[in-house]
Amino acid sequence: MYNEKVLQHFKDPHNVGTMENPDGYGEVGSSECGDTMKMYIKVDDNKITDIKYQTYGCCAAIASSSIATDMALGKTIEEAQAMSKMDIVQELGGLPEKKIHCSLLAEDALKEAIKDYKSK
């Protein structure tokens, strides 16, 4: 049901962890399925230079978190803000239809973190 790339990210997710004094912090919970994510970003010169997260959720949620943070790293704030859940799903090479909503968690957490950064 999950493709190889999804399973790879699920098995060894990238960028896992927390951050002391992040420039931006976002926390979201999916009302749909109870998945939860905390995201931490470090921003330098309008670019995301470090990113960390913790995720509680299924395989799709974990893999989406991993690849979304990979994708965001190095991007400008504007570029990162433009990322949608479908970009994440595409980068993963697809998710089962029922699981597509799980990737929204990463999109939302990233947006929250950026919002927090901007508000400072």
In 10 A of CB 59, how many CB atoms? 18
The mark string for 71-100 relative to another protein (x by CB under 8 A, - otherwise) is ---------------------------xx-
Specify whether 33 is catalytic.
yes
Of 44, 55, 49, nearest to 88 by C-alpha is 55
* Three-class DSSP category at 13: coil
The count of chain residues that interact with another protein, using the rule CB under 8 A, is: 28
- Chain centroid to Cα 60, Å, comes to 11
Q: Identify which range of 27-35, 41-49, 74-82, 85-93 contacts another protein by CB under 8 A.
A: 27-35
Site track for another protein across 35-74, x = CB under 8 A: xxxx---------------xxxxxxxxx------------
Which position among 27, 29, 30, 33 bears the catalytic label? 33
Alpha helices in 16-103 (DSSP H): 59-72, 77-82, 85-91
Nearest to 114 by CA among 68, 81, 72, 70: 81
Is 59 considered catalytic here? Answer: no
| Site residues for another protein per CB under 8 A | 1-2, 7, 10-11, 13, 16, 27, 32-38, 54-62, 98-99, 101-102
The residues assigned a catalytic role are 33, 102
